[in-house]
């Protein structure tokens, strides 16, 4: 059974499931910000995944970045796995604008998140779910158990 890090869970909203990753939306209204988390336990770095999983992660990540860039008309996409605070491998996808609060610096650590209102939150979740729905799968058909887990 895959276990999402508690802090990631607290900071985000669940959007849906790609073949490898859960898609989460960061609850910060200032930036379009999606996090992909490979549903494998005990993975901290890309190189802890198998080569096949890495290729899949890259495809899910690049597709998400392209869809977000087009939809949000981003100036650039920040795609990053940091892991300084939350060790569980998770990949940020942030649509950036040259007039956003942190530009041209990174958003992490710049200033506290400004959560969405309930209405805004529901609207943004729905917009992102629509954006990604063609590649979301039915999570109940999967078995993210220890047999699938890559250990190092």
**Which parts of this chain interact with a copy of itself (CB under 8 A)?**
44-47, 49, 51, 54-55, 57-59, 61-63, 65-66, 69, 75-85, 87, 96, 103-106, 108-109
Assess contact for 136 and 17: CB atoms under 8 A. Answer: yes
Q: Calculate the alpha carbon distances from 126 to 10, 39, 132 in Å.
A: 19, 22, 10
Nearer to a copy of itself, 52 or 122 (CB): 52
In the complex, least distance from residue 75 CB atom to a copy of itself, rounded to whole angstroms:
8
CA dist., res. 10 & res. 35, Å (int) = 13
In the complex, least distance from residue 68 CB atom to a copy of itself, rounded to whole angstroms:
10
Nearer to a copy of itself, 100 or 144 (CB): 100
In the complex, least distance from residue 130 CB atom to a copy of itself, rounded to whole angstroms:
19
In the complex, least distance from residue 116 CB atom to a copy of itself, rounded to whole angstroms:
23
């Amino acid at each position: 059974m895959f276990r999402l890090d508690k802090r990631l869970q607290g900071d985000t909203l669940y959007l849906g499931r790609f073949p490898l990753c859960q898609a989460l939306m960061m609850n910060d209204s200032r930036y379009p910000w999606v996090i992909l988390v490979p549903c494998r336990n005990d993975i901290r770095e890309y190189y802890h995944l198998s080569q096949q999983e890495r290729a899949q992660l890259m495809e899910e990540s690049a597709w998400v970045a392209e869809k977000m860039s087009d939809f949000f008309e981003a100036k650039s996409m920040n795609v990053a796995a940091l892991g300084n605070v939350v060790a569980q491998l998770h990949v940020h996808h942030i649509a950036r604008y040259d007039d956003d609060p942190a530009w041209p610096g990174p958003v992490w650590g710049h200033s506290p998140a400004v959560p969405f209102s309930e209405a805004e939150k529901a609207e943004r979740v729905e917009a992102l779910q629509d954006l990604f729905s063609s590649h979301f799968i039915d999570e109940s058909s999967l078995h993210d158990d220890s047999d699938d887990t890559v250990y190092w």
